[in-house]
Amino acid sequence: MILNLKAAIFDVDDTLFDFTGCHAIAMQRVAEHVEKAYGIPQKWLIAEYKAELDKQFEKYPQFVNCHCRTIRFQRIAERDARLPLGVATELSDMYWNTLIEVAEPLPGVVDFTKSLKAKGLKLGICTDMTADWQIKKLVKLGIVEYLDFIVSSEEAGIEKPDNKIFELCLNKAGDCSPSEAIMFGDSYKKDIAGAIGAGMHAVWINPKGIQIEKPLPGVIEIASYVGIENIFQIAKA
């Protein structure tokens, strides 16, 4: 398959690096600190954090504040007097600094972005997160130097799969129609269905081989960026 494109757009978490694994390491470090400093069991904090995360996404599914770690730790502290409210920002910073410290690009990611840049494509990011920490991740991953633009839900005021966030990406890419852009992402609902709905091409990053009951036509599925050039070719439109 040969695709004639002007822009390639990437999600960040679990698309460019193993966010899930890095999150687990970061939460473990926070939980160990809280247990040592305040005598609160690690398992309790991790369970409370997960419950608070679920509440935020249920209550605010399309608002960027659902991603705020400070708010999650703040709300946990409000429910347990052993944890002072003022520690929320400390724990949030510890979480993010640890996550970025251990983050590494997925195999083949940097070489692939380099190859796309060499073909003359505009490269961008489309992410449901705040710009601050996402840019810090991209710097750590060694990818930011190849990017032309970044679109966050914080900037767009809406999250994927809403068409508006993809439209903002296309606007930033310049003279680029939806059919001349391709989206790479791990979330079938947000990244893949969203991009297809916006008229773009889509590549699903699916290393676990998850099965979709009703797959969308035209979606390219890969388990790794290694050897991706053997699956399809990208040419500049």
Write the DSSP assignment of 175-214 as a string of letters: S--GGGEEEEES-IIIIIHHHHHTT-EEEEE-TT----SS
Residue 94 has, within 13 A of its CA and on its CB side, a CA count of 16
Q: What's the confidence (pLDDT) of residue 228? A: 87
Calpha distance 195→65 (Å, rounded): 23
| pTM, entire model | 0.93
Calpha distance 138→103 (Å, rounded): 10
Q: What's the confidence (pLDDT) of residue 22? A: 98
Calpha distance 166→171 (Å, rounded): 9
Q: What's the confidence (pLDDT) of residue 162? A: 95
Q: What share of the chain is helix, strand, coil (3-state, %, to 5)?
A: 50, 15, 30
Q: What's the confidence (pLDDT) of residue 63? A: 55
Q: What's the confidence (pLDDT) of residue 3? A: 84
Calpha distance 91→98 (Å, rounded): 10
For 177-197, what is each residue's pLDDT tens digit?
999 999 999 999 999 999 999
Residue 104, SS3?
Answer: coil
Q: What's the confidence (pLDDT) of residue 66? A: 61
Q: Can you list the residues of the chain whose pLDDT is less than 50?
A: none
